[in-house]
A and B are shown apart, each in its own frame.
Chain A
Amino acid sequence: MKAAILDGIVLGLQYGLLGVGLTLVYGLGGVLNLAHGQLAVLGAIITALSFDAGLPIVPAIAVGLACAATAGLVLDLTLMRPVYRLRGEPRVLLGLLLMLGLAFIIDGFLVWRYPIQSLSIRIGGDPIPILGVRMRTGSLIASAVTIAAGASLVAFFRLTTAGRAVRSVIQDEEGARLCGINPARVRTFIFALSGFLACLVAVTRSMTAPVTVTNGIDFTTLALIVAVVGGLGSVSGAFLAGIVLGIVNTISSFYIGTYITTIMLLVAAALTIVIRPSGILGGRT
Chain B
Amino acid sequence: MSLLVLDDVEKRFGGLPAVDRVSFGVDEGEILALVGPNGAGKSTLLKAISGLQPPTAGRITFAGRQLAGLSAHSVRQRGVAMVLQTPRTFDSMTVRDNVVLGAMFGSTTGRIRESEANARAEEALEFIGLADRVDDEVGSLNLHEQRFLELARALAGKPRLVLLDEVMAGLNETELAASIDIVRMARDTLGVTVIWVEHVMTAVMSLAERIVVLDFGQVLADGAPADVMRSPDVVTAYLGDGAIPVE
Contacts and interface: CB of A to CB of B under 8 A. Distances in A.
B73 A177 contact: yes
A201 B221 CA distance: 64
Contacts of B105: 165, 179-182
Nearest to B86: A175
Given A161-B117, A164-B93, A181 B101 contact: yes
Interface stretch (B26-34, B74-82, B176-184): B74-82
A187 interface: no
Interface stretch (A106-114, A117-125, A166-174, A190-198): A166-174
Given A161-B101, A161-B117, A180-B106, A174 B92 contact: no
Contacts, number: 76
Contacts of B52: 174, 177-178
A285 interface: yes
Contacts of A176: 101
Interface residues of B, number: 32
A177 B104 CA distance: 13
Nearest to B102: A179
B49 to A, nearest CB: 12
Given A161-B104, A164-B97, A168-B101, A178 B90 contact: no
A136 B23 CA distance: 74
Contacts of B114: 161
A179 B101 contact: yes
Contacts of B106: 179-180
Contacts of B2: none
A157 B77 CA distance: 23
Nearest to B159: A180
Interface in A269-285: 283, 285
B41 interface: no
Contact of B72 (A171, A177, A283): A177
B44 interface: no
Tell me whether chain A's interface is mostly helix, strand or loop, or mixed. helix
Nearest to B89: A175
Contacts of A177: 51-52, 71-73, 76
A172 B153 CA distance: 15
Question: Which of A167, A174, A177, A180 has the most B CB atoms < 10 Å from its CB?
Answer: A180
Interface residues of A, number: 19
A165 B73 contact: no
B136 interface: no
Interface in B64-119: 71-74, 76-77, 81-84, 88-93, 97, 100-102, 104-107, 114, 117
Contacts of A183: 73
Nearest to B163: A178
Contact of B73 (A164, A181, A283): A181
Contacts of B102: 179-180
Contact of B88 (A167, A178, A283): A178
A285 B92 CA distance: 8
A180 B73 contact: yes
B201 to A, nearest CB: 27
B76 A180 contact: yes
Contacts of A168: 90, 93, 101
B55 interface: no
Contacts of B100: 161, 164
B90 A180 contact: no
B76 A174 contact: no
B157 interface: yes
A167 B92 contact: yes
Given A161-B104, A174-B52, A180 B157 contact: yes
Nearest to B84: A178
Contacts of B76: 177-180
A178 B82 CA distance: 7
11 contacts: A161-B101, A164-B97, A171-B90, A177-B72, A178-B83, A178-B154, A179-B105, A180-B73, A180-B157, A181-B73, A181-B101
Given A164-B101, A177-B51, A182-B74, 19 more contacts: A161-B101, A164-B100, A165-B101, A165-B105, A167-B92, A168-B101, A174-B72, A174-B88, A175-B89, A177-B52, A177-B76, A178-B50, A178-B52, A178-B81, A178-B88, A179-B76, A179-B102, A180-B76, A283-B92
The 9 lowest CB-CB distance pairs between A and B, nearest first, are A180-B106, A175-B88, A180-B105, A177-B72, A180-B76, A182-B73, A181-B105, A179-B101, A179-B102
